[in-house]
Structure 1
Amino acid sequence: MASQAHEDVDLVIIGGGPTGLFSAVLARQLGLSVSVIGTQDEKPSSLVVGRADALNARTQQYFEVAGILQELRTKGIECNSKSFFSLAGGIDRQITSAYMYAKKPAASSTFSQGDFQSRQDKWWTGLEHCHHKHFLMIGQPEVEKTLLQQLDDRAPVHFGERVVSIREEAGGRSVTVVTDAGRTTRAQFAIGADGAKSTVRQALGIGFQGTKPEMIWAVLDTFLDTDFPVCSEIITFQLEGQSRVSWIPRERGMSRFYVLLEGDVTQARAEASIRQHLAPYRVDFTRTEWFSTFEVRERIASSFLSQEQGRVMLAGDAAHVHSVNGGQGLNTGIADAFGLIWRLALACGKGNGDGVGQVAAPAVSKLLGTYDLERRTVAQDVINVAARLVRDTMHTAKQYVATIEKNAGYITGKSRMGVSYHEIGSCLIVDSERDIWRAGKRCPDLVLTSPVISAEQEGQRQWLYSLARYGRFLVLAIGATPGDLHSLQRFRCAADVISLTPRGHGVHSAMDTSGTDEGLPTFASELVAPGDAFTVLVRPDMYIGFVGETKGAVDYLADLFP
Structure 2
Amino acid sequence: MHDVVIVGAGPVGLFLACELGLAGCSVLVLEREPEPRSPFKAEPLGMRGLSSASVEAFYRRGMLHQLLTASGVHDDSGADPDADEPSAPRHGGHFAGMMLDPAKVVAAALPYRLPSPAPESMLTHLEAVERVLSEQASKLGVEVKRGVTVSVIAQDDEGVVAQSGADEYAARWLVGCDGGRSTVRGLAGFDFVGTEPQFTGYTMHATVADPEKLRPGFNLTPTGMYLQPSEGHIGMMDFDGGAFDRSQLPTRDHLQAVLRRVSGTDVTLSDVHLASSFTDRAMQTTAYRRGRVLLAGDAAHIHSPLGGQGLNTGIGDAMNLGWKLAATVHGHAPDGLLDTYTRERHPIATAVLDWSRAQVAAMGPDPHAQAVQGVIRDLVGTPDGTTYVFERMSGSSIRYDLGSEHPLVGRSAPDICLEDGTRLGDLMRDGRGVALDFSIDRRLQVSAMGWESRIRYAAGPARNDLGLGAVLVRPDGIVAWAGDRRPDREAFEPAAGHWFGSPAI
Range into which the TM-score falls when normalised by the shorter chain: 0.7 to 0.9
Q: Distance in 1 between matches of 2:283 and 2:494?
A: 38
Structure 1 residues 52 and 44: CA distance shift in structure 2, 3 A: farther
Q: For residue 335 of structure 1, what is the aligned residue in structure 2? A: 316
Describe the superposition over 1:317-373 as per-residue Cα deviations: whole angstroms up to 9, x where unpaired. 111011111101111111111111111211222xxxxxxxx316xx2x411100011
Q: For residue 332 of structure 2, what is the aligned residue in structure 1? A: 359
Structure 1 residues 36 and 210: CA distance shift in structure 2, 3 A: same
Paired letter, 1:525: R
Q: How does 1:20-59 map to 2 (within 5 A)?
A: 20-39=13-32, 43-50=33-40, 53-59=48-54
Q: Alpha-carbon deviation of 1:381? A: 1.0
Q: For residue 173 of structure 2, what is the aligned residue in structure 1? A: 189
Paired letter, 2:477: M
Structure 1 residues 208 and 187: CA distance shift in structure 2, 3 A: same
Q: For residue 514 of structure 1, what is the aligned residue in structure 2? A: none
Alignment of 1:539 with 2:458, yes or no, is no
RMSD value, Cα:
3.6
Structure 1 stretch displaced more, 44-53 or 371-380: 44-53
Q: Distance in 1 between matches of 2:320 and 2:297?
A: 12
Contact 2:92 2:101 in 1 (8 A): yes
Identity of aligned residues (%): 25
Q: Distance in 1 between matches of 2:114 and 2:304?
A: 29
Q: Distance in 1 between matches of 2:358 and 2:300?
A: 20
Structure 1 residues 28 and 145: CA distance shift in structure 2, 3 A: same
Q: For residue 82 of structure 2, what is the aligned residue in structure 1? A: none
Structure number with greater CO (CA < 8 Å, separation at least 6) is 2
* Long gaps (5+) in structure 2: 41-45, 78-89, 245-249
Q: For residue 394 of structure 2, what is the aligned residue in structure 1? A: 412
Structure 1 residues 287 and 80: CA distance shift in structure 2, 3 A: farther
Structure 1 residues 135 and 480: CA distance shift in structure 2, 3 A: same
Q: Alpha-carbon deviation of 1:398? A: 5.3
Corresponding residue pairs, total: 451
Q: For residue 381 of structure 1, what is the aligned residue in structure 2? A: 351
Alignment of 1:178 with 2:169, yes or no, is no
Q: Distance in 2 between matches of 1:290 and 1:81?
A: 29
Q: Distance in 1 between matches of 2:446 and 2:300?
A: 42
Q: Distance in 1 between matches of 2:286 and 2:63?
A: 33
Structure 1 residues 200 and 66: CA distance shift in structure 2, 3 A: same
Q: For residue 499 of structure 1, what is the aligned residue in structure 2? A: 459
With structure 2 as the length reference, what TM-score do the two structures score? 0.78
Q: Alpha-carbon deviation of 1:148? A: 2.1
Structure 1 stretch displaced more, 340-349 or 123-132: 123-132
Contact 2:96 2:306 in 1 (8 A): no
Q: Distance in 1 between matches of 2:273 and 2:103?
A: 29
Q: For residue 518 of structure 1, what is the aligned residue in structure 2? A: none
Contact 2:226 2:259 in 1 (8 A): yes
Q: How does 1:207-286 map to 2 (within 5 A)?
A: 207-221=191-205, 235-240=217-222, 244-248=225-229, 256-262=233-239, 267-268=252-253, 270=255
Contact 2:160 2:171 in 1 (8 A): yes
Q: Alpha-carbon deviation of 1:54? A: 1.6
Q: Distance in 1 between matches of 2:125 and 2:308?
A: 12
Please say which structure displays the higher CA radius of gyration.
1
Contact 2:418 2:460 in 1 (8 A): no
The one of 445, 454, 468 equivalent to 1:485 is 445
Secondary structure of the residue aligned to 1:31 is: coil
* Long gaps (5+) in structure 1: 1-7, 87-115, 350-357, 423-428, 452-460, 502-523
Q: Distance in 2 between matches of 1:168 and 1:204?
A: 9
Q: For residue 19 of structure 1, what is the aligned residue in structure 2? A: 12
Q: Distance in 2 between matches of 1:85 and 1:13?
A: 34
Q: For residue 354 of structure 1, what is the aligned residue in structure 2? A: none
The one of 487, 492, 495 equivalent to 1:553 is 492
Describe the superposition over 1:18-66 as per-residue Cα deviations: whole angstroms up to 9, x where unpaired. 1111111222222211111112xxx443351335622111111111122
Q: Distance in 2 between matches of 1:400 and 1:332?
A: 24
Paired letter, 2:315: I
